[in-house]
Every structure is written in structure tokens, then in C-alpha cells.
Amino acid sequence: MTAVTAPEARSIPRSGWTVVAAKEFGDHLLSVRFVVLVIVLGLAAAVPLYFLGGQIREAAQGLNDFPALFLGLLWSAPSVNDQFTLPSVIGFIAMVGPLLGLAFSFDAVNGERANGTLPRLLSQPIHRDDVINGKFAAGAAVIGVVLLTVVGGIAAFGLIRLGIVPDAAEVLRAVLWLALTFVYVSLWLSFGMLLSVVVRGAATSALIGFGVWLLTTFFGRLIVSLIGGVLAPTSVAGEDLLRNVGIQATLFRLLPDTLYREASLILLNPQSSAAAEVQTPATIAEFEQAQQRIASLLSLDQSFILVWPQVVALVAMMVACFALAYVLFMRQEVRA
């Protein structure tokens, strides 16, 4: 008598997010937006390098004793003429980098919903959270590829065209700055993912994302100045002026752009004068102490201690945006 065997249960792969991530990663690499963003980010880094390289060649003898000369390619702001100065590579990436994160996430979920493929995707033998985890991992992988390509081009320019060879400390600082840039762009990736979950239309989420980017990056200083003037009106007294400056500095550090610029400058420039820009004096006594500070070079651990609050703030914002997108997506109803 033949024994009747029970049908095998349908197995659910434990690494379903890797399948989603691999598919999304391939689609991103073959998309037009990937090529356009690589060109835009490459030009954003190449323009300041073009002018800065000529200045370094003209003053090569005077820059031989300059600390971390290789890293100066990243944080130095080149001057086109006596009246106009271009932003540094850090400044350009701070402005253009958010586009990289938003472009690969603003339609991650609502695009699937609009095409009617989200119910079919969730009907596959994968867990529901694998979808959003895989899409975020794919976007982060594409961001890593773009950033490695851009930074590799900058390093090749410094080595081949200018003959600047970095030492071990400079390489380590550059690696930490690359990780910081990855976190900064991933923050906007998670924000775009949140918009794709909350907003039904892909075009609407793109407009909101790019609007927030314009508001915080280009008009953030104006908005903070207006808020600071309301909270702490300036007067002739020096204490009132410093209080206004302190409030504005606190509000500035709520902006991801400011946090990234401050942390990047400290990591790439070992001079202590850059460290003074992170801490804004709140009283006249603190201002006088800042003016009397002796210029010196900071070690890597000292620089990292200075930027630790900025790094933690960026990571916290990124985790908060992704966690909120994750929770909202898990609670949404998906109808076939």
C-alpha cells in the first residue's frame, strides 16, 4: 500500500529583498536617469577641478608645504577671476547630491502602484517588507557606484594631471568623507522613498521632493535669517547680536546641507581654523577665546570627534525617514 505524502509547503525565500534589489539595480543602471545623473555629478566635480588645477600648477612651489594638498582638491574653492569664486567640489556635491537620491526613489512605490505591478509583485513568494528593503538597497548601491566613479575621477585627476600623491592619512580622510557623502545622499534617498509611499502620484512626489531640495539648499539661509530675526532681534548691544548669530547657527544645523558641509570641511581640512567654524560663540567671552585660538593641525581622531554630532544627525534623519516609510508601507492596503 503506497503511503500518501503530504504536498510540500511552498517555501518563501529568506533573502527575497536581494532578488528585488538585483532587479531594481539592473533597471537603474540601464535607465536614462542614471546616465544623466552621472554626467551632471561628474560635471559638478570637474568644473571646480579645472580652475583649481590651473591655480595649483601656477603656485606649485608655494603649495608644497600646504597640509593635505591632495584633499585640497575637494574642499578648496577656485576663483575664476578677482570678483567671482566657484564653489568647491564639496559645495557642488552638497547642491547636486540630493538629486541623485531623489531621482532613484521618488517613484519607487507609487510608480509600481500606478503601473498596476505592485499587487503582482507582492503576490510572489517574498515577504512584503522585502519590496521596500530591496528598493532602498538598490538605490543605495547605485549611489555608491556613482560616488565611487566621481571620486575615482577626482583621484585620477590629482595623480595624473597634477602629480599629487596622497599619503595614508589623506586616503583615510577621503574614505571617511566618501562614507559621509554616501550617508548624505542616502538621506535624500530615504526621503524620496517616504514620498513615494505617502504620495500616490509619482509626478507629485517628484515635485515635493525637488521643492524641498530647492527650499533647504538654496533658500535655507534666507529662511533661517528671517526666523532668527524674529526670535532674536538684533540691536546695538553685542550680546544681542551674538545671540542672533547663535540662534541662526542652531537653525542652520537642522538643514542637511549645512551638516554635510561642516562635516566634510572638518574631515578634509586638518587645520584648526576650520574647526572654529563648527562651534559658534554664544557670548562675547567665547568670541574672544575663538579669536585667540592658535592655528594648528588636527589629527584624524580629533577631526572625527568634531564632526561626530553632524554625522549622528545625518544618520538619524536617514533612519527616521526610512523607518517611517517602512511602517507606512507595511500598513498600506494593496488591492489587485
**Whole-angstrom distance, CA of residue 196 vs CA of residue 235:** 46
Lowest mean pLDDT of 24-28, 30-34, 85-89, 237-241, name the range.
237-241
What pLDDT sits at residue 12? 47
Which residue reads 585660538 in cell numbers?
A: 293
SS (H, E, C) 235-255: CCCHHHHHHHHHHHHHHHCCC
Region 278-302 average pLDDT: 54
What pLDDT sits at residue 177? 93
Q: How many residues does the chain have?
A: 336
**Whole-angstrom distance, CA of residue 195 vs CA of residue 208:** 8
* pTM score, whole prediction: 0.83
The answer to whether residue 290 scores a pLDDT higher than 50 is no
**Whole-angstrom distance, CA of residue 196 vs CA of residue 150:** 27
Q: Flag whether 142 is in a domain.
A: yes
Q: Flag whether 326 is in a domain.
A: no
What Å distances lie between residue 121 and 129, 177, 244, CA to CA?
Answer: 12, 37, 53
Is 269:263 a contact under the CB 8 Å cutoff?
Answer: no
Q: Flag whether 130 is in a domain.
A: yes
**Whole-angstrom distance, CA of residue 245 vs CA of residue 232:** 9
Cell of 229: 530675526
| Chain-centroid distance, C-alpha 78 | 22
Give the pLDDT confidence of 294-330 residue by residue, as tens digits: 455 777 788 888 888 899 999 999 999 999 999 999 8
Is 201:112 a contact under the CB 8 Å cutoff?
Answer: no
Q: Flag whether 222 is in a domain.
A: no
Cell of 284: 562675547
| Residue 83 confidence class, pLDDT cut points 50, 70, 90 | low
Region 114-136 average pLDDT: 83
| Residue 14 confidence class, pLDDT cut points 50, 70, 90 | low
Helical segments of the chain, H only: 16-29, 32-58, 72-75, 89-103, 110-115, 118-122, 129-156, 168-198, 202-217, 220-231, 238-252, 256-268, 272-275, 284-291, 300-331
For the chain, the C-alpha Rg in angstroms (whole number) is 24
Average pLDDT, the chain: 78
**Whole-angstrom distance, CA of residue 278 vs CA of residue 284:** 17
Q: Flag whether 67 is in a domain.
A: yes
In the chain, the number of structural domains is 1
Residue 123's domain comprises 16-217
| Residue 289 confidence class, pLDDT cut points 50, 70, 90 | very low
Higher pLDDT, 75 or 35: 35
φ, ψ of residue 271 in degrees (nearest 5): -75, 140
Is 28:104 a contact under the CB 8 Å cutoff?
Answer: yes
Range with top average pLDDT, 70-74, 84-88, 141-145, 153-157: 141-145
CA dihedral 300, 304, 307, 308 (to 10 degrees): 180
Region 95-108 average pLDDT: 90
Residue from 156, 135, 56, 49 nearest 93 by CA: 49
Is 194:325 a contact under the CB 8 Å cutoff?
Answer: yes
Range with top average pLDDT, 83-92, 102-111, 121-130, 314-323: 314-323
What pLDDT sits at residue 324? 95
Is 47:86 a contact under the CB 8 Å cutoff?
Answer: yes
The answer to whether residue 280 scores a pLDDT higher than 50 is no
Give the pLDDT confidence of 226-278 residue by residue, as tens digits: 776 666 666 555 566 666 677 777 777 788 988 999 899 888 887 754 444 54
The answer to whether residue 71 scores a pLDDT higher than 90 is no
Give the pLDDT confidence of 185-235 residue by residue, as tens digits: 999 999 999 999 999 888 899 999 999 998 888 887 777 777 766 666 665
